[in-house]
Amino acid sequence: MSIRDWPEGERPREKLLRCGTHGLSDAELIAVLLGSGVRGKDAITLGRELIGNAGGLHALLADPDHTTQSPGIGPAKRARLVAALELARRSLGEQLTLGAGLRNPRDSGDYLRARLRHLPYEVFACLYLDNRHRVLAFEELFRGTVDGASVHPREVVRACLKHNASAVILAHNHPSGVAEPSSADRAITRALRDALQLVDVRVLDHLVIGADEPVSMAALGML
């Protein structure tokens, strides 16, 4: 039976309009984005299969190539999923537009998580701030593999001076999903803190982005 033949109150699109997004499961939200199923599979079943085959919702959105392995997922449906994720990232990014001040650590954590959490390789990035903690710029400085990224203090210092930053929030992701800071993370944080002190740039935090909430090295006393 097609979803069109279901009672109106059970159709994902109608449920979303009536109850809001919180009333829908992950598979139902995917179904709304897909718009339709394929022969023998309604859109919700297809959504469940996509999530299951990818190994979870995060893995599906992080790597859209998972969708190309599923029958019935063509360029149009794949584009909708990718566009939805990008819109979510941009929505968070609007909270940290040029000149905006950071109200609390969660502001920067949510934004950096949206920018880095989905990446299958390690990235080291900086959020540059002025002396009133207003956002000047965000920049990815180094990229690596799942095993790590080489971070050069000289390049970080140069980037801070280029943006005329008074303070900086460092961030990198752990593609494994485990956000616990490693001994290498602690070592490079100390090296960057010491190097940036020489040019009067304060390191406010170093956030490690994993599958769950970002881990603040400042909150752990590692700065």
Flag whether pLDDT at 57 surpasses 90: no
Indicate yes or no: pTM above 0.85. Answer: no
Query: Which contacts qualify for 21-24: CB closer than 8 Å, 24 or more apart?
Result: none
Residue 64 near residue 78 (C-beta atoms within 8 A): yes
**Model pLDDT, residue 17:** 81
Q: Where residue 135 falls among pLDDT bands split at 50, 70, 90?
A: confident
Residue 1 near residue 8 (C-beta atoms within 8 A): no
Residue 127 near residue 180 (C-beta atoms within 8 A): no
Least confident range from 29-33, 95-99, 179-183: namely 95-99
Q: What is the dihedral of CA 115, 220, 213, 83, to 10 degrees?
A: 0
Residue 161: which of 119, 210, 196 has the closest Cα? 196
User: What whole-number distance in Å separates Cα of residue 54 and Cα of residue 58?
Assistant: 9
Flag whether pLDDT at 42 surpasses 60: yes
Q: Show the tokens assigned to 205.
A: 């935090």
Q: DSSP for 154-187? A: HHHHHHHHHTT-SEEEEEEE-TTS--PPPHHHHH
Q: What percent of the chain has pLDDT over 70?
A: 81
**Model pLDDT, residue 36:** 78
Q: Where residue 164 falls among pLDDT bands split at 50, 70, 90?
A: very high
Residue 150 near residue 157 (C-beta atoms within 8 A): no
Sign of CA dihedral 57, 63, 68, 69: negative
**Model pLDDT, residue 200:** 97
Residue 142 near residue 151 (C-beta atoms within 8 A): yes
Q: Where residue 133 falls among pLDDT bands split at 50, 70, 90?
A: confident
Mean pLDDT score, 157-164: 96
Q: What percent of the chain has pLDDT over 90?
A: 32
